Amino acid sequence: MPTILGSNQYGKAENRVVKITRDGDTHHIKDLNVSVALSGDLDDVHLTGSNANCLPTDTTKNTCFAFAKEVGIESAEQYGIELARHFVDSQPSIHRARIRIEEYSWERIAGSDAGSNFIGADEVKHSFVRKGQETRLVQVTYQNGTFEVLSGLKDLTVMNTTNSEFWGYIKDKYTTLKEDYDRILATSLSTWWRHNWTGEEGQRTPQWNKSYDQAKKHILQAFVETYSLSLQQTLFQMGSRVINNRTEIDEIRFSAPNKHHFRQDLSPFGLENEAKDGAVYWAADRPYGLIEATILRDGADQRIPLDMTNL
């Protein structure tokens, strides 16, 4: 039977780019994991083995490092925009570029107290410890002169130790879960949000770092302030808070594994274990409920793929 070539792309994945900026004695770190995927007029390289239209993946790797120096990394989004534009605009055979970036955050280590034997120890501005709260995410796609910029995060673990209930659900002969009117609600959030900026002339470019910080702030504030009757309700409130407060964001998608905490049965030991008294819980890692949802600005199209939060 005849075969035909379907969709395809190629590039260099997981380029670990670390850029140090020196501002006098004060140093700043940008620590990125950058993956490049290119597509376009690439039939021949698959069908005949001709590499005439193929930019080597080694070149895409080199470009990631060179652009970190030439262009700089003000934000992961802007760096991705510059890379994507370069690959498409400089190579006639490349019609589409997708840049995926993970950013790892570092925070400065405070200097030691006065009286240290190390001269200037109280003024050190070049020592850092890796933050462990979440990983920042960026995906930039450039095609036909138009950008699509997604920002997001993964592994942001949050917990409410009260103000959460779960009851009134369907019960059949296989249901054993008991209704709970005072439970722990915990999850490890993965989320992407889509900016409405497309690079068209006259559009105002978002302040990418501020936009990220504010989106994260609204997600966390909504988690704190929502009296939750379901994780689904909480996700909708978090997404709505972002959409209503950030005009540059039209769509946000969440994937939230429910980190179940079950009150341990201590009755065999003659002990009560009620939430109101401060309970002991069994933290179950699997299986877990997986709750996913997309929240949109009214009138906006849903464009974030359903499996994006599973990457």
**Count of other CB atoms within 10 angstroms of residue 47:** 10
Q: Which of 27, 57, 141, 217 is catalytic?
A: 57
| Cβ atoms of 64 and 15 closer than 8 Å | yes
Question: Is residue 12 annotated as a catalytic residue, yes or no?
Answer: yes
In whole angstroms, give the CA distance from residue 18 to residue 27: 13
Unique residue bearing structure tokens 């390289």? 45
Do residues 101 and 33 make contact, with C-beta atoms less than 8 angstroms apart?
yes
From 86, 195, 259, 260, the catalytic residue: 260
| φ, ψ dihedrals at 199, nearest 5° | 85, 5
- Tell me the C-alpha distance between 82 and 74, whole Å: 11
Using CA atoms, how far apart are residues 250 and 246, in angstroms rounded to an integer? 8
**Burial label, 295 (beta-carbon count in 10 A; 0-12, 13-18, 19+):** buried
List CB contacts of 289: < 8 A, sequence separation 6 or more.
231, 257, 258, 260
Strands (E) across 57-184 are located at 94-104, 106-108, 128-130, 135-143, 146-160
What's 166's DSSP letter? Answer: B
In the residue annotation, 57 being an active-site residue is answered as: yes
> Which long-range contacts does 268-276 make (Cβ < 8 Å, 24+ apart)?
275/162, 275/182, 275/183, 276/182
Query: Token pair of 179, please?
Result: 């209704």
- Taking a C-beta distance cutoff of 8 angstroms, is the pair 218, 235 a contact? no
Q: Which residue has the tokens 């019609």?
A: 95
Catalytic residues, by residue number, are: 12, 57, 260
